[in-house]
Amino acid sequence: METVIITLIISILIQAIFFLFAATFKTDKVTDLSYGLGFIFLVVYLLMSNDSAGVVQSVISIMIILWGLRLIIYLFQRILMIGKDKRFDGIRENFWKFFQFWLFQAIAVWVISLPSSIIISKNILPEYSVLLYVGATIWMLGIITEGFADSQKFNFKNDPKNKDKWIETGIWKYSRHPNYFGEILCWWGIYFISLPYLTGFEHVAIIGPLFITFLLLFVSGIPPLENKYNEKYKNDTSYQNYKNRTSLLLPLPKKDLQD
């Protein structure tokens, strides 16, 4: 319980510092930066605070640090190029609305980190569970999928020939949101590694991967993008064909509309 409270406080403090900067300068350039750094700061703090941390804790920490660094580099590079995030139009100018977003981000980082926070702070026996290898494989598949998807979309969007087009190449040929699929896999992989070492109340940690899955599927991930593209390409039969034949999340072969 102590770890849960401490990590919540740290998460709020980290986001508060970045919020003050963002609110003062009315900028979006540190929003995603603070998100990735929030996870990294938490695991580094917990790992350094646990003198008996072993292989399992180190593996989870390395996974989250690598995940966070990749996300930070990609999103920071993107925001520097586009200048601002349209999600915050009409919000960054309103102190309290902007504050609500940053508070939610702090809580999100804390909730998603629950499995890793609990395990990294524990003293566990140096036992190797089959779920270590299962979870590591799922995480690896996730970060590779997410990395390729983000890279392919970034290059596509920055090619002038693709202005006002949707991406339908690479892994995006098989999924309309492969980056979110990869993201979900990463956090479920970390949870599976943690699972054998959770006891009693600590099993509440499953909220972490459930929360990010729910968020991406039903709140801030897929729904706003689907709504945006449905409106933008509502009269485009080519997009409607792509949408009807292409899996929403899981990379799958194209559907045959004649079936």
Beta bridge partners of 175: 247
Its pTM stands at 0.94
pLDDT (tens, 9 = 90+) of the chain, 259 residues, equals 788 999 999 999 999 999 999 999 888 889 889 999 999 999 999 999 999 888 899 999 999 999 999 999 998 888 888 777 777 877 888 889 999 999 999 999 999 999 999 999 998 866 678 999 999 999 999 999 999 999 999 999 999 999 989 999 999 999 999 999 999 999 999 999 999 999 999 999 999 999 999 999 999 999 999 999 999 999 999 999 999 999 999 999 998 865 4
Q: What is the mean pLDDT of the chain?
A: 93
pLDDT value for 29: 86
Helices and strands in the chain, H and E counts: 10, 0
Instruction: Quickly tell me which residue has 């508060």 as its tokens.
Output: 16
The phi-psi region of residue 174 (left if phi > 0; otherwise alpha if psi is between -120 and 50; otherwise beta) is: alpha
Burial tier of 250 (Cβ tally within 10 Å: 0-12, 13-18, 19+): exposed
pLDDT in tens, 20-29: 999 998 888 8
Q: Strands, E, within 74-212: which ranges?
A: none
How are the residues of the chain apportioned to helix, strand and coil, as percentages rounded to the nearest 5? 75, 0, 25
Residue 200: count of CB within 10 angstroms of its CB:
6
Is there a contact between 205 and 86 (Cβ–Cβ < 8 Å)? no
Which residues of 33-124 form beta strands (DSSP E)?
none
Q: At what angle do helices 2-25 and 31-49 cross, to 10 degrees?
A: 150
